[in-house]
Amino acid sequence: MKHYLLIAGVALSTLVMSCKQNDKEVAQATLNSTATNEAIGTVKFVSVADGKIKMDLELNFPERADSVVAVHFHEHGDCGNMGENTHGHWNPTNENHGKWGSEAYHSGDIGNIELDSKGHATLSVTTDRWNTTENDVNSIIGRGIIVHGGTDDYTTQPTGNSGPRVGCGVIEAVK
């Protein structure tokens, strides 16, 4: 019996490792403060085995310690003019603004993130709503990521009344 458990354990371990090997980083962004242009976070996008994209976002933003900030993808990857050049929320499905995973929401409605006493926070999202296919309407490549200074109320159209743009980054393909 122990022999069968050992074989099953090795087989499961091999399966898990082979799935992880199929995961590939496909895009990334560095988030900078719109006020100081200093780095405040990173975002990595990984293509996972089931064809979905996983986003891992990490903020290190001491100026916003002990607060909640909203994060959204915006139409354009241009952080000029204090992030205003990113224009509006990225919304390829023409849905109402809302909370991620609710009945209706923009593909770029990432949501609110609570920063700890040092200004650190992480968030992971996995979805089939995004891709990295060049010129595809659902492609995240070339989109802006905005960190807002306030919280998303998930109701106000089309922005969630999330406050000023305090951080910005551009999603770039990993070659």
**125-154 residue pLDDT tens:** 999 999 999 889 999 999 999 999 999 999
User: What secondary structure does DSSP assign to the chain, as a single string?
Assistant: -HHHHHHHHHHHHHHHHHHHHH-EEEEEEEEEETTT--EEEEEEEEE-TTS-EEEEEEEE-GGGTT-EEEEEEES----TTTTGGG-SB--TT-PPP--TTSSS--TTEEEEEE--TTSEEEEEEEESS-B--TT-TTB-TT-EEEEESS---S-STTT-S---EEEEEE-EE--
Q: Give the mean model confidence (pLDDT) for residues 53-65.
A: 97
Q: Quick one: what percent of the chain has pLDDT higher than 90?
A: 81
- Domain assignment present for residue 11? The answer is no
- Report the CATH number that the domain containing residue 75 is assigned in CATH: 2.60.40.200
Q: Is 1 a member of any domain?
A: no
32 in any annotated domain: yes
**For residue range 74-91, what is the model confidence (pLDDT) as tens digits?**
999 999 999 999 999 999
CA distance 66 to 57: 18
Range of the domain at 150: 23-173
Pairing between strand 144-148 and 68-74?
antiparallel
pLDDT tens column, 10-41? 444 444 444 455 789 999 999 999 999 999 99
Number of domains in the chain: 1
